[in-house]
Structure 1
Amino acid sequence: MQPCPSHAIPAQQTVATILLAGGKGTRLHDLTAAESKPAVPFAGRNRIVDFAMANVVRSGLDKLLVATQFAPATLNEHLPVRWGRHFDGGALMLRDGRDRYLGTADAVRHNWRQVQDWGADHVLVLAADHIYDMDYAALIAAHRASGAAVTVAVDVVPVATASGFGVMHTDAGGKIVSFLEKPANPPAIPGEPDRAMVSMGVYVFDRGWLEGALFGEDVESLDFGHEVIPAAVAQGLAMAYRLPDGPAGRPYWRDVGTLDALRQSHLDFLRDQPARLPSLSPVADWYLGRGSVMMPGALVPASARLTCTIVAPGAKVPQGLVTGEDPDEDGRWFRREGRTVLVTQAMLDRRETMRSPIIPAKRAHHARDVA
């Protein structure tokens, strides 16, 4: 896939892009027990991180540092092979932050020397664990035109679900006047009482302002959502950029932090392909029907009847298995959250062991003596 940005980035201005890819993703449970959230498989042999990477390439950005932390081995192998050809030598860097990064902003602080070496005028900070389609060049152009110190990309979600995000409130011109991180009672958009504006975890900073925020007197700023962005809002220097419509004719962004959200994003991708990933695996490779998907290395026989189920990598489903129909039976053997059932090989092994008839040793000897 060749970059095809819709907004040219001026050659005389340099953007350093930092992709934060160290998240553990604990709400995905067994899928991230030994794997980082950005490395979780998605739609065949793609990975969640590939959405952000595809956006970077299509936006014409050519200087990228990936900050890894939890379980980085898969990303260290996957990213250079899948994406390295789109970057000149040395322009795609992976930095392992195990036992060093204390937060999202701290990860950028630890890698600030590379921002300086690139001579960047602006710093684009991205989360690596969301499913979305976005032209970052358009975001950067809007940021430059606004004169703000930071521009935060935002999407609109129902108020009922907004408490899991950073929620923005803006004035008529788009300036952020308040920012609340995961509030219990999220404020609605003025004139839209059922909807709220939430942070996508995508930020553009003027380099000078961000340097001051990271290395000024208040060097305890470790996290963008909790400290850096609220500081910019308090100074009146933060703007919101609303995610435009994507290929499906509407904005699409999803934080796949839960099993339900991950499975639903697969189904959305099947219907709309919200992000145009290159070399997408054929649908038959991963879609099972009945709202169910399987991940690489899984085997599912035709006799199985799986509903609203994720089959984890490498899981070998037995003949005739039924899931997603009886919540009590699902919960006995597998992990069920919301409507989604997760099936792993370890769960299948436990189910097989506990369902197999076992004759206690003493009873078996007694039976032989009687005979």
Structure 2
Amino acid sequence: MNSYDNVMGVIMGGGQGTRLYPLTKERAKPAVPIAGKYRLIDIPISNCINSGIFKIAVLTQFNSVSLHRHISQTYNFDMFHTGWVQIWAAEQTLLANDWYQGTADAVRKQLVEIRTARMPFVLILAGDHLYRMDYSDMIHFHWDKQADVTVAVQPVSREEAPRLGLLKRNENMGITSFAEKPKDKEVLEAMISQPDSDKPYFGSMGIYLFNIDVLMDLLENSSYEDFGKHVIPAAIEKYNVFGYEYNGFWADIGTIRAFFETNLAIASKNPPFSLIDEGWPIYTHPRFLPGSQVEDTYMEDTMLGEGCWIQKADIRNAVIGLRSQIRSGTKIRRSILMGADYYGFFRRGNEPDEELILGIGKDCVIEGAIIDKNSSIGNNSTILPFPPGTNIDNDLYIVRDGIVVIPKGTRLPANTRIAPG
């Protein structure tokens, strides 16, 4: 029977997230904070709930404690609701005793749980994308086309095409071929689906809807490790695969640069993705924090989380996370402060100058940086961006593509200078 109750969402969250290091040094990639108060995992789970999909599994493996904690404390349906959000961690069984080897292998190792759920349709989702999507439209498309597999696709330009997995779609919206990040001109020409458009290609969004018997066949009778590289091309050869076109905002935020730019775009004027949507909220862990207190401070294009205290600062184009403390004389430009998990010794700026406590000290200059949670930046410290493409590994900081990242829990001494030259 075609019903949303027969669709299960499976969210991939098990990888090491090396492209987001050091934000993933102590946490799973879907647990990385975003937009001041959320975590990446909140995006696909919220999309599922808002789309009427209430049976959701999150596959985890690497640094998963904080992700497990967030999910268990946030997504609890009451006893009269049939929905659930479960965590399926990598585990040793009689059938397999190794780690997940890729997205497809992760789902293969959980086929017993998928069978137990008795869902005729399985929706595979990534845990590091930012978008607001009604999956019910894609599900109806799948049913109307009598598809075996449906892939969510987005029109992309010629410039973007070599960086994505491309799917060739025919007039009936069926997928006829796949190319993974093609560079060859002949291959690129062959993958054009809309010749007269300024976005002639269709790129895969990493969102797949399978009939359960098709998913079982593709995974049980193969050793495929990845959905995009292996399973989808194999499905095109054997089954009816269709491409559901999505034209809304969608961003893969799996790299430090993409994460940085997307966060700042959300905080800007006329953001491409607004968190304010009364009809389609993004859910997260409810916290009992006071409203932020801001004293004698100039702020522009800034997103501010709850429970912050800011005194006589100048902040422009920034994301300021939960429980952030910013002291007098500090200037912040194009930066992300993830805040803190606790207040520590909170003395409202009256601590001795030589004492390092949680947050940003006095008279600091921070530009082009990501300050991870629970860090202390000493008084009179300066952090400036490096040229794009610069990568540096230091005991106190990491530079990725020119962006300075202060890892979680770091203590920068007073008068520290991190800058080119």
The CA deviation string for residues 53-77 of structure 1, in whole angstroms up to 9 with x for no partner, is 1101101112111111111111111
Equivalent residue, structure 2, for 1:96? 89
Residue 347 of structure 1: how far off its partner (Å): 6.9
Seen in structure 2, the aligned counterparts of structure 1 residues 16 and 159 have a Cα distance that, compared at 3 Å, is same
Q: Deviations over 1:75-130 (max 9, x none)?
A: 11111211123794673221111543222122222222233223211111111111
| Residue number in structure 2 paired with 1:233 | 236
CA contact (8 A) 1:316 1:345 kept: no
Matched to 1:342, the amino acid is V
For 1:332 and 1:211, locate their aligned partners in 2 and report how far apart those are by CA, in whole Å: 43
User: Counting helix residues as a fraction of each chain, which structure ranks higher?
Assistant: 1
CA contact (8 A) 1:23 1:38 kept: no
| Secondary structure at 2:168 match in 1 | strand
How far apart are the structure 1 equivalents of 2:369 and 2:174?
42
**Is residue 344 from structure 1 mapped to residue 407 from structure 2 by the alignment?**
yes
Extract unaligned runs of 5+ from structure 1. 1-8, 245-250, 356-371
User: Where does 1:271-286 land on structure 2 (aligned, <5 Å)?
Assistant: 271-275=271-275, 276-278=281-283, 283-285=303-305
The structure where strand makes up a greater share of residues is 2
Change (3 A) 1:18 1:307: same
Please say if residues 299 and 317 of structure 1, whose CA atoms lie closer than 8 Å, have aligned partners that are also in contact: yes
What is the match of residue 84 of structure 1? 76
From 4, 12, 17, give the equivalent of 2:9.
17
Aligned to 2:46: 54
Distance 1:345 1:12 in 2: 40
**Which residue of 2 is the match for residue 287 of structure 1?**
319
Alignment CA distance shift 1:346-1:114 (3 Å) = closer
Q: Cα distance, 1:155 vs. partner?
A: 2.1
Q: How far did residue 212 of structure 1 move?
A: 1.3
For the residues of structure 2 that align with 1:201 and 1:33, how far apart are their CA atoms? 24
Report if the CA contact (8 A) 2:42-2:283 is conserved. no
Matched, 1:296 2:288: no
**Higher RCO (Cα < 8 Å, 6 or more apart):** 1
- Alpha-carbon spacing, 1:173–1:32, altered in 2? closer, same or farther (3 Å): same
Give the counterpart of 2:256 among 259, 269, 280.
Answer: 259
RMSD of aligned Cα (Å): 3.2
Query: Take 2:65 and 2:8, find their aligned partners in 1: how far apart are those partners?
Result: 24
Given the superposition, is the C-alpha separation of residues 319 and 90 from structure 1 closer, same or farther in structure 2, using an over 3 Å criterion? same
> 2:163 is aligned with what amino acid?
G
Question: What one-letter code is carried by the residue in structure 2 that aligns with 1:202?
Answer: I
Give the Cα separation in 2 of the matches to 1:346 and 1:327.
26
Structure 1 counterpart SS, 2:167 = strand
Q: 2:30 aligns with which of 30, 38, 57?
A: 38
Could you tell me how far 1:191 is from its partner in structure 2? 2.5
* Distance (Å, rounded) in 1 between the aligned partners of 2:417 and 2:52: 54
Distance in 2 (CA, whole Å) between partners of 1:24 and 1:18 is 18
Instruction: Give the percent of matched residue pairs that are identical in Structure 1 and Structure 2.
Output: 28
Name the aligned partner's letter for residue 304 of structure 2.
A
d(CA) in 2 for partners of 1:77, 1:59? 24
Per the TM alignment, residue 254 of structure 1 is displaced from its structure 2 partner at its CA by 0.9
Deviation larger for 112-121 or 346-355? 346-355
Cα displacement (A) at 1:134: 0.7
TM-score with structure 1 setting the length: 0.80
1:27 match:
19
Measured in 2, the distance between the counterparts of 1:177 and 1:127 equals: 23
Work out whether residues 268 and 274 of structure 1, in 8 Å CA contact, stay in contact via their aligned partners in 2.
Answer: no
SS at match of 1:100: coil
SS in 1 for 2:399: strand
Distance 1:178 1:237 in 2: 12
Q: What CA distance in whole angstroms lies between the structure 1 residues aligned with 2:158 and 2:362?
A: 41
**3-state DSSP class of the match of 2:122?**
strand
Output one character per residue of 1:273-314: Cα deviation in whole Å (capped at 9) or x when no partner: 445423699822372563211113272246322222211122
1:310 and 2:302 matched? no
Map of 1:141-220 to 2, 5 A cutoff?
141-185=140-184, 186=188, 187-189=191-193, 190-192=195-197, 196-216=201-221, 219-220=222-223
- d(CA) in 2 for partners of 1:16 and 1:330? 40
